[in-house]
A = this chain, B = another copy of it.
Amino acid sequence: MVAPVSLARRAERLVPAPPPRHDPHENISFDSGHAFPGILPDLSAVAQRALSSRATEMLQYGPRQGLGQMREWISDYLKNDHANVPPDEVLVVNGAKHGIELVCRLLLDEGDTVVLTAPTYYTALPILRSFGASFIEVGQDGEGISVDWIEDAVQWLERNGRPRPKLIYNIPDFHNPSGITMSRSRREALLGLAQRHGIYVVEDSPYRALRFEGESQPLLKALDTSGLVINVGTFSKILAPGLRIGWLACRPDLLIRMMQLKTDGGTSPLVQRLLVDYLTKDRLARHTELARTTYREHRDRMLLALAREMPDVATTVPQGGYYLWLKLPGNASGDELARRALEMGVTIYPGSKFYAAQSTGYPNSAKPELDRIRLTFSHAASPDIDEGVRRLAAAWASMRA
């Protein structure tokens, strides 16, 4: 049951953050989903104050479900987003990935089928695999995951006497890596299917607050009347990844069992208190606005640089989030481009990283598109975006030569 995480994945974690200004000898990172260092919050005053006045709360064991005020904060945040989640239906976890792991521990048995998009968030794959999941991969269009496709897969499983999928994993807002946001009608159709067949839906939505333009669509959790949606949230993209705080919002019976499985001594009350004290309504609004403005500028800068340097390569134009998803012409290999880009001093992720690519026998499974690459625009400063795209274009030119 050991997750087949590649060494590359491990190495990725160990790459130091790049400098804010470029240097021909320093790598520029368009790969992992780091925040822009320039907008990381200053928690020093809040930490100083809280650790002086609330040491007992912060330094003893905290309640297993999370600090009451933290759960109230998350409940308010979700209510503002039209999802009526009371504090009792929130479980504080050590980041979204830990939330996904707890969902797997609760719901998955060896051999269970999980439905996901192809491509999908690569880090979810080893977590799901480590619990023995097998995958059905379906496609997306401009409105998001194809519900007809899932229906076809469910029918196929049924015809072949196999159990229904246990869960559908998806990123409905600014999908990673494709940038697609599900339309409202597609969300409703997905929930209809889930309810018809009794399949849990894991809504992983870290980028939701980072909308640059266009209209927000309702959370799946807000539309859900069946209790089948488990909303997974995180402060990594709201504020900062290093906090390692996220949440699960779901039906109380599921929550209680996940809380029992959460045997880690409680998520750090120290960090929860920092969050609660820092994230007043004003500061949340200000920081969200700053993040939106910054990342919209980064997206536009990268789109402009790509149009200038690599006009033959097609890219998505996501309305928010962290990523561009590029399609190379002529079936060129994303893996090859990633290798050459690394030599030129810019790291990117090849499309191959985002596919489970695991046959469950389902004949209509979505196929990996190996002519893709993902570029992260969040992390690098604007001059580095320009220089990184120049390096990428040079790598690309070397492939076309």
**Which of A53-61, A177-185, A223-231, A334-342 lies at the interface?**
A53-61
The answer to whether A55 and B34 touch across the interface, beta carbons within 8 angstroms, is: no
Give the contacting residue for A242; candidates B9, B10, B43, B268; CB below 8 A.
Answer: B268
| Identical copies in the complex | 2
Say yes or no for A282: interface residue by CB 8 A criterion.
no
Shortest CB distance A132–B (Å): 11
Q: Pick the contact of A130 from B10, B63, B97, B105 — CB < 8 Å?
A: B105
Contact code string A269-286 (vs B, CB < 8 Å = 1, else 0): 111000000000000000
A13 is an interface residue with CB less than 8 A from chain B: yes
- Are A268 and B240 touching (Cβ within 8 A)? no
Docked-complex contact B242 and A130, CB < 8 angstroms? no
Decide yes or no: A265 and B59 within 8 Å by CB, A44-B47, A260-B126, A270-B271 being known contacts: no
A32 interfacial by beta-carbon distance below 8 Å: yes
- Taking the complex as formed, is A42 at the interface, i.e. its CB lies under 8 A from any CB of chain B? yes
Q: Does A383 contact B (CB under 8 A)?
A: no
Shortest Cβ distance from A53 into B: residue = B44
Chain B residues lying within 8 Å of A35, measured Cβ to Cβ, are 59-60
Tell me whether B32 and A61 are in contact (CB under 8 A): yes
Per-position binary interface string of chain A over residues 220-248, scored 1 when its CB falls under 8 Å from any chain B CB and 0 otherwise: 00000000000000001000111110000
Query: Which of A44, A59, A106, A130 counts the most chain B CB atoms within 10 A?
Result: A59
Tell me the complex Cα distance, A23–B171, Å: 52
Q: Are B60 and A17 in contact (CB under 8 A)?
A: yes
Contact of A14 with B by CB under 8 A: yes
Q: Is A261 located at the chain interface by the 8 A CB criterion? A: yes
Which listed residue (B14, B56, B96, B257) contacts A63, Cβ 8 A?
Answer: B14
Tell me the bound Cα distance from A81 to B307 in angstroms. 60
A256 cross-chain contacts in B, Cβ below 8 A: 10
In this assembly, does A218 line the interface, its C-beta being within 8 Å of a C-beta of chain B?
no
A264 touches B240 (CB 8 A): no
B17 engages A56 (CB within 8 Å)? yes
Q: Is the CB of A244 within 8 A of B260?
A: no
List B contacts of A56 (CB < 8 A).
17, 37, 40
Tell me if A134 is interfacial: C-beta within 8 Å of chain B.
Answer: no
Q: How far, in whole Å, are A94 and B291 apart by their CA atoms in the complex?
A: 29
A109 within 8 A of B: yes
Contact of B61 with A13 in the complex, beta carbons under 8 Å: yes
In the complex with contacts A60-B37, A242-B60, A257-B2 CB distance below 8 A: yes
Residues of B within 8 A of A266 (CB): 13, 244
Q: Which residues of B contact A263 (CB under 8 A)?
A: 3, 5, 97-98, 100-101, 123, 126-127, 130
Binary CB contact string for chain A from 1 to 28 against chain B (1 if under 8 A, 0 otherwise): 1110100011001100100000000000
Report Cα–Cα, A64/B41, bound state, in Å: 22
Assess whether B63 is in contact with A40, with CB atoms less than 8 Å apart: no
CB contacts (< 8 Å) of A61 on chain B: these are 13, 32, 34, 236, 241-242
Interface string of A47-71 (1 = CB under 8 A from B): 1111110011111111111000000
Contact of B44 with A48 in the complex, beta carbons under 8 Å: yes
Residues of chain B contacted by A44 (CB below 8 angstroms): 47-52
Given contacts A10-B259, A13-B64, A13-B266, 15 further A-B contacts (CB under 8 A): A10-B256, A10-B260, A13-B65, A14-B63, A44-B47, A44-B51, A47-B48, A59-B243, A61-B241, A94-B264, A94-B268, A126-B260, A126-B263, A236-B265, A244-B270
